[in-house]
Structure 1
Amino acid sequence: MKRIIITIVVVIGVLALIGWVLSKNKAENEAKTAVVAQTGGAIVVNAAKVSRQPLVLDFSANGNFAANQDLLLKSEVSGRVTRILAKEGARVGKGQVLALVDPEIINLDKQAAEDALQKLKTDYERYKSSFETGGVTRAQLDDIELQLRNAEIRLQQANRRVQDANIKSPINGIINRRDIEVGAYLSQGTELFEIVDLSQLKLKITANETQVVNLKVGDKVTIVSTVFPDKEFNGTISFIAAKADNTLNYPVEITVDNSASSELKAGMYATAHFKFPQQNPTILIPRGSFVGGVNSNQVYVLEADSIAAIRKVVAGRIFGEQVEILQGLEEGETVITSGQINLVDGAKVQAQVDSAANR
């Protein structure tokens, strides 16, 4: 308890010290500004004329192609490999047999399961007749019924193992890697083949919050690969993440049809170009114009007699170092773009106006 009280006291002390330092700095800045104003001096700042500018939403994003399906096929049965029917690089179809496992032990298990089931069926009929005449109890009949159901399940499992002895491809694709040889003994879970489906590729890119709001699933995208710089590929947005990643960007997937030529490979680098209709001109100002950051929604404007006046604005979308202004500024006004840290409302300034600062 004593340690908690000490911790609380220390935290309060630190917060009080921070508040005092900030208050002192503010007082010193106000005093300096007041001296400058009293002596007729002016604070040097940079400023820019406010104008409406064309809004370009087009952007490009880089990423890597991923296979439509990339499957690592593993063994579901135990046994020795007797034949391999597919080579690395071979194109295979769904359901095609890739390898064979020695079926002898598997078939023996199936035969044993069939024999056990047949015996239990006979026993069940005998118990059922005895129950009707009072020869066995209900509990004994229920027990033989349970054994019969379990025997049926074991036979189904044995049949499945017989089928799995013929190792088949679950998808259409290309054998990218083979991990087994004839004579190798397999256990359940042994890696057999890596099968890659390149009939479609997915280009994985990211978009920031300003970009992603203009995207929707089904949009067409132009893609250029670095290995085919003179050729364009057509893609379609197939996925847009609902949540940003750790970098505050949104993962986006673009599907590209690759079935005709199969020129593109998984892992290749590419650039997606997003094009949008021309937008109406809007007011944009440099991001650095805001007092303390965009969220403050406050800027300094230059008024008559070189006076800096603080102005409340409504910020819209952010485009890199430019911020859209929805309300609060009119075309032709002058906004202060740097030096605001030395200003207070009503301070006299000497502005260096750069007409290109907000382009």
Structure 2
Amino acid sequence: MRKSIPFLVAAAFAAAALGYYLFGRGVAVTVATPERGLAVDSVYATGIVEPVNWAQVSSLVPGRIADIRVHDADLVKEGDLLARLDDREAQANLRQLEVREQYWQEELARQRALEARGVASRAAYERVQSDYLQAKAATAAARQRLEDLNLRAPIAGTVLRQDGEVGEVVDKQKILFSIGQPKPLRVTADVDEEDIVRLAAGQKVLVKADAFPERALAGTVAAITPKGDPINKSFRVRVALPEDTPLLVGMTVEINVVARTTADALLVPARAVREGYVFVADADRAKRVRVRIGARGATRTEIVEGLAADARVILDPPATLTDGARIRVVNGAKALAR
């Protein structure tokens, strides 16, 4: 029994030594020092490539497509007939109203002659005149309804897209033709209202498209709508594209508007930054430092103020790490870890 006492004491010392090794020396951390470099502060959004000059054409009235006159890539002039809806009923109605108008026109002439001879009263003439004017207005409205069944080009250009088939019933919401000029092109994007104050006309834009995964295409902010969308909390931004852009109408793209560039910015690994602060190694203690963050990248973050250039920032600080906690640096990194 007495022999077991030294063994228990030795075990206790061993446990204490192990505990000190694991915990007493502090939390093991990896550090890196900031470096100077280019920081790009950009605003991200998605958008659609479209012509600068274009129009979408739909029917003013619902109906069945009877004839399609133009197709994809055809050239049209303003006013050209693009398609026609079934107008047989409208034609029959117009003929009836034209006959009615003709009748009242002849009756008006007869009443005018009778009044001139003193056979008919002025009141009778005015009643016939009123009926004639109503018939004439009804005929004009019928002619307009007939014309509304014709879809015409609102501008000159190229048929960028034609939808719908003969025999198909369409309503006023269906876009049947997109007409415009293939060049110049632009990107229309919706930018979050929180970011819109950082944008201005003339800023450079980097455009990425799935069709060109290895290329960063160029653009320029051309216009920002003065009024935002209160429902989606966004503003519409137009990005002008160069004449030689390989992008095509209708492509979905990602844009990054370069809001600000800093050539000699203080950069730290993105994995070191938490919401508004970083931890730095101060001897064997962790020190929480409040910082102001600038541009954020995939691997690096700009620190605008609050951090010394020679500070050793802690990478991936544990969630349990607190200000003043004991730490143990396990690397001697002097350069920025990427």
Report the alpha carbon displacement of residue 90 of structure 1 after superposing the two structures with TM.
1.9
Q: 1:254 aligns with which of 213, 236, 239?
A: 239
Report the alpha carbon displacement of residue 155 of structure 1 after superposing the two structures with TM.
3.7
Q: Which residue of 1 aligns with 2:280?
A: 301
SS for the counterpart of 2:40 is coil
Report the alpha carbon displacement of residue 336 of structure 1 after superposing the two structures with TM.
1.7
Task: Please tell me whether residue 90 in structure 1 is matched to residue 69 in structure 2.
Answer: no
Q: Which residue of 2 aligns with 1:22?
A: none
Gaps of 5+ in 2: 1-18
Q: Which residue of 1 aligns with 2:8?
A: none
SS for the counterpart of 1:54 is strand
Task: Please tell me whether residue 329 in structure 1 is matched to residue 321 in structure 2.
Answer: no
Deviation by residue 1:11-41 (Cα, 9 ceiling, x = unmatched): xxxxxxxxxxxxxxxxxxxxxxxx7599852
Task: Please tell me whether residue 355 in structure 1 is matched to residue 338 in structure 2.
Answer: no
Report the alpha carbon displacement of residue 73 of structure 1 after superposing the two structures with TM.
3.3
1:234-249 matched pairs, under 5 angstroms: 237-239=222-224, 242=228
CA spacing shift, 1:257–1:313, aligned 2, 3 Å: closer
CA distance in 1, matches of 2:245, 2:268: 47
1:161-310 matched pairs, under 5 angstroms: 161-164=145-148, 167-175=151-159, 176-177=161-162, 179=164, 193-199=176-182, 200-203=184-187, 214-219=198-203, 221=205, 226=211, 237-239=222-224, 242=228, 252-256=237-241, 265-268=248-251, 279-290=262-273, 293-294=274-275, 297-304=276-283, 306-310=284-288
CA distance in 2, matches of 1:192, 1:206: 22
Task: Please tell me whether residue 111 in structure 1 is matched to residue 111 in structure 2.
Answer: no
1:62-141 matched pairs, under 5 angstroms: 65-67=49-51, 69=54, 71-74=56-59, 76=61, 85-86=69-70, 88-98=72-82, 104-105=91-92, 107-112=94-99, 114-115=101-102, 129=123
Asked if the contact 1:47–1:338 (Cα under 8 Å) also holds between the matched residues in 2, the reply is no
Aligned partner letter, 1:282? A
CA distance in 1, matches of 2:173, 2:322: 73
SS for the counterpart of 2:144 is helix
Report the alpha carbon displacement of residue 312 of structure 1 after superposing the two structures with TM.
2.9
CA distance in 1, matches of 2:33, 2:39: 17
CA spacing shift, 1:333–1:154, aligned 2, 3 Å: same
CA spacing shift, 1:106–1:288, aligned 2, 3 Å: same
Cα root mean square deviation, aligned = 5.4
Task: Please tell me whether residue 54 in structure 1 is matched to residue 38 in structure 2.
Answer: yes
Report the alpha carbon displacement of residue 205 of structure 1 after superposing the two structures with TM.
5.9
Asked if the contact 1:49–1:353 (Cα under 8 Å) also holds between the matched residues in 2, the reply is no
Deviation by residue 1:207-232 (Cα, 9 ceiling, x = unmatched): 789986654345465768857x9997
Gaps of 5+ in 1: 1-34, 131-140
CA spacing shift, 1:207–1:288, aligned 2, 3 Å: farther
CA distance in 2, matches of 1:269, 1:215: 21
Asked if the contact 2:292–2:304 (Cα under 8 Å) also holds between the matched residues in 1, the reply is yes
Moved more, 349-358 or 270-279: 270-279
Report the alpha carbon displacement of residue 54 of structure 1 after superposing the two structures with TM.
2.8
CA distance in 2, matches of 1:262, 1:317: 28
Deviation by residue 1:266-309 (Cα, 9 ceiling, x = unmatched): 2457676866775242323334334xx31xx33322224x2222
Asked if the contact 2:63–2:169 (Cα under 8 Å) also holds between the matched residues in 1, the reply is yes
Equivalent residue pairs, number:
301
Report the alpha carbon displacement of residue 237 of structure 1 after superposing the two structures with TM.
3.7
Aligned partner letter, 2:152? K
What's the % identity of the aligned pairs?
A: 19
Aligned partner letter, 2:265? T
Deviation by residue 1:94-135 (Cα, 9 ceiling, x = unmatched): 212345656852541441563587579979x999849xxxxx
TM-score (norm 1): 0.58
Q: Which residue of 2 aligns with 1:346?
A: 324
Q: Which residue of 1 aligns with 2:142?
A: 158
CA distance in 1, matches of 2:317, 2:216: 49
Aligned partner letter, 2:177? E
CA spacing shift, 1:79–1:220, aligned 2, 3 Å: same
Deviation by residue 1:137-161 (Cα, 9 ceiling, x = unmatched): xxxx9xx98x888656534412313
Bigger proportion of residues as helix: 1
TM-score (norm 2): 0.60
